[in-house]
């Protein structure tokens, strides 16, 4: 039996220490995505006073900080404005299959991706979010209007 935490127990920290390390802005034990990539910030599983001070320094005065997988209460003087539960989907037994309608999206597609995200509200999608990975979509119509997009691969 492994005593190591699962990467999805603290997904933002795992991501910023692993596949997205090139994007990480760091201060002490705290890391965050650039503000135009993702709103999420990563804390250690059991953050201390110095870690919360680093959050304040990275985020700036009055900022709203998005955390995922961190169960620690914020220190005095901080306010939790929203607490929710998320679901992580994994593909342990999903068989990959080609989709002839799928196209790879690139930087030129960002305006349409932002418009689709504004209409459908799937969660944060910002001007540089596509740097997190490969985005695929299905397009429709003669003008290629974006009809759906999938998470980065």
Digit-coded pLDDT (tens) for 70-108: 888 889 988 888 877 777 777 778 787 888 888 888 999
The pTM of this model reads: 0.82
pLDDT at 1 over 70: no
CB of 38 closer than 8 Å to CB of 124: yes
What confidence score (pLDDT) does residue 145 get?
Answer: 61
Task: Determine the straight-line distance between the first and last CA of the chain, rounded to whole angstroms.
Answer: 29
**Owner of token pair 């397009």:** 139
CA distance 91 to 119: 27
pLDDT band for 151, please (50, 70, 90 cuts).
Answer: low
Q: Is 32 in contact with 42 (CB distance < 8 Å)?
A: yes
Query: Given a cut of 60, is residue 135 above it in pLDDT?
Result: yes
121/95 Cα distance (integer angstroms): 28
The pairing of beta strand 136-140 with beta strand 41-42: unpaired
Count how many residues are written for the chain.
153
What is the predicted pLDDT for the residue at 34?
Answer: 96
Higher pLDDT, 130 or 148: 130
Does 152 have pLDDT greater than 90?
no
CA angle 71, 77, 78 (to 5 degrees): 40
141: pLDDT strictly greater than 80: no
Tell me phi and psi for residue 150, to 5 degrees: -115, 160
């Amino acid at each position: 039996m492994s005593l190591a935490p699962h990467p999805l127990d603290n997904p933002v920290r795992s991501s910023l220490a692993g596949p997205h390390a090139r994007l990480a802005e760091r201060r002490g034990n705290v890391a965050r995505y650039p503000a135009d990539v993702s709103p999420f910030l990563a804390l250690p599983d059991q953050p201390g006073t110095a870690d919360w001070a680093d959050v304040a320094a990275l985020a700036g005065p009055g900022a709203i900080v998005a955390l995922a997988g961190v169960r620690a209460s914020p220190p005095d003087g901080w306010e939790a404005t929203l607490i929710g539960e998320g679901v992580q989907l994994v593909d342990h037994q999903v068989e990959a299959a080609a989709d002839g309608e799928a196209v790879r999206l690139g930087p030129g597609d960002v305006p349409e991706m932002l418009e689709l995200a504004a209409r459908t509200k799937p969660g944060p999608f910002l001007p540089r979010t596509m740097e997190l990975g490969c985005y695929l979509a299905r397009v429709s119509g003669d003008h290629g209007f974006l009809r759906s997009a999938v998470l980065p691969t």
